[in-house]
Amino acid sequence: MLQKKPQDWPEPIVRVQSLSESCFDSIPDRYIKPPSDRPSSSAPFDQSNIPIIDLRSLFGTDAKAHAATLAQISEACRDWGFLQIVNHGVSPELMDKARETWREFFHLPMENKQQYANSPKTYEGYGSRLGVEKGAILDWSDYYFLHYLPLSLKDYNKWPALPPSCREVIDEYGREVVKLCERLMKVLSVNLGLEEEFLQNAFGGYDVGACLRVNFYPKCPRPELTLGLSPHSDPGGMTLLLPDSEVPGLQVRKLDTWITVKPAPHAFIVNIGDQIQILSNAKYKSVEHRVIVNSDKERLSLAFFYNPKSDIPIAPAKELVTPEQPALYQPMTFDEYRLFIRMMGPRGKSHVDSLKSPR
């Protein structure tokens, strides 16, 4: 199933931001999705939203309020795979500063950004495609990907030097978001009926992987024909998304409907990744999501991925496996799983579903 790591992109890279500036009433065929994959305008913006949960009680002494918040999180993880969290402990000022610093980066002259151009070998740096299939239909987005943990992969030279505060802001933001992820891992463990440190230990203790992908979705003259990011579930453990404060775009699949997420002010959008679905033996679900684009406004978001250590086999927790509920997945390291996905690009839920044990 697994193949050798690709060393370079199969075709010359075109920056979507440049296309956005030169395309006025059409987009190249490489970005036009098949009719069945195109966004539908039938989903009204005012319909249901993913759960919004206030975490304030997790830091307080009111046991009843604490238990109620745990129950809300548990229900969201089982029913939605997504939730928004507010009063989470990360300062609103830092969230705004991180978002605006990255917006400044994407508006730098192209030659400043091109010096960080990435390759599929590690994906680190400035990129414009996911997956290495030649001739694939592409998404309408550029991005910047960097490693935060483990420290052995953290390389400041691969982080943008401009704008001047960028590296300092990324570092501070990463520290705060890692702390929040560690708190949430405890909550998820307890809600599964496991020891508080179970998921953290299954990820390799505190020697985990963490990385940031900043997504930039330029204006698109034909948003009804394309997507900013194709449907997929996240391959890692857990994702904390800092969405654009003004422009909605994330859509989550609920049954057969795409729900457009309405971000709450200074909320993080949290979603379960494939590795926690596997560890929970599918009690928690990693849910398919996608991104739509906009003809009037650009959009920017920061996706922080909190992942298992790359070389530890991930399999259902034995405490959650019974004769009535046998293990649904075979063990696989995150490195193996990630390489599989990087070769193929975003493909709905097919990646994690393909790992199910034969029954």
**What whole-number percentage of the chain has pLDDT above 90?**
83
Q: What is the mean pLDDT of residues 184-211?
A: 97
Task: Please check the confidence at residue 231 and state whether its pLDDT lies above 80.
Answer: yes
Checking if the pLDDT of 349 tops 80, the result is no
Query: What CATH code is carried by the domain that includes residue 329?
Result: 2.60.120.330
Query: What are the residues facing 28 on neighbouring strands?
Result: none
For residues 264 and 52, the answer to whether their CB atoms sit within 8 Å is yes
- Position 59 scores a pLDDT of 87
Q: Residue 325's pLDDT is what?
A: 93
The CA distance from 9 to 302, in Å, is: 24
Q: Is residue 358 part of a domain?
A: no
Q: What is the pLDDT of residues 107-164, one digit of tens each?
A: 999 999 999 999 988 899 999 998 888 999 999 999 999 999 999 999 999 999 999 9
CA 7 to chain centre: 24
pLDDT at 339: 80
Q: What does the pLDDT look like over 52-107, one tens digit per residue?
A: 999 999 988 999 999 999 999 999 999 999 999 999 999 999 999 999 999 999 99
What integer pLDDT is reported at residue 126 of this predicted model?
98
Residue from 216, 196, 176, 215 nearest 306 by CA: 176
3-state helix, strand, coil in the chain (%, to 5): 35, 20, 45
- How confident is the model at residue 1, as a pLDDT? 45
CA distances in angstroms from 97 to 75, 146, 178, 218, 260, listed in the order given = 32, 18, 17, 20, 25
Position 222 pLDDT exceeds 60: yes
In a domain, residue 9? The reply is: no
Which residues, other chains included, contact 303 with Cβ-Cβ below 8 Å and sequence gap of 6+?
Answer: 212, 213, 214, 215, 239, 240, 241
pLDDT-derived band of residue 190, with 50, 70 and 90 as boundaries?
Answer: very high
User: Does a cis peptide bond (omega within 30 degrees of 0) precede residue 163?
Assistant: yes
pLDDT value at residue 51: 96
3-class SS of residue 32: coil
Query: For residue 41, what pLDDT is reported?
Result: 59
Q: What is the pLDDT of residue 24?
A: 87
Domain range enclosing 317: 16-353
The reply to whether 151 falls in a domain is: yes
Judge contact between 19 and 27, C-beta under 8 A.
yes
Indicate whether 332 belongs to any domain: yes
Residue 256's pLDDT band, with cuts at 50, 70 and 90, is confident
pTM beyond 0.85, yes or no: yes
Residue 297 lies in a domain: yes
Inside any domain, residue 71: yes
**CB neighbour list of residue 44: distance below 8 Å, 6 or more residues apart:** none
The pLDDT of residue 53 = 98
Phi-psi region of 185 (alpha: psi -120 to 50; beta: other; left: phi over 0): alpha
Confidence of residue 5 (pLDDT cuts 50, 70, 90): low
Is the pLDDT at 13 greater than 80? The verdict is: yes
Instruction: Give the DSSP letter string of 90-143.
Output: S-HHHHHHHHHHHHHHHTS-HHHHHTTB--TTT--EEES--S--TTPPPPS-EE
In a domain, residue 5? The reply is: no
Number of domain units in the chain? 1
Confidence of residue 3 (pLDDT cuts 50, 70, 90): low
Give the span between the Cα atoms of 292 and 308, in whole angstroms.
Answer: 29
Mean pLDDT of the chain: 92
Report if residue 344 sits inside a domain: yes
Average pLDDT over residues 334-353: 69
What percent of the chain is modeled with pLDDT above 70? Answer: 91
Parallel, antiparallel or unpaired: strands 52-54 and 82-86: parallel
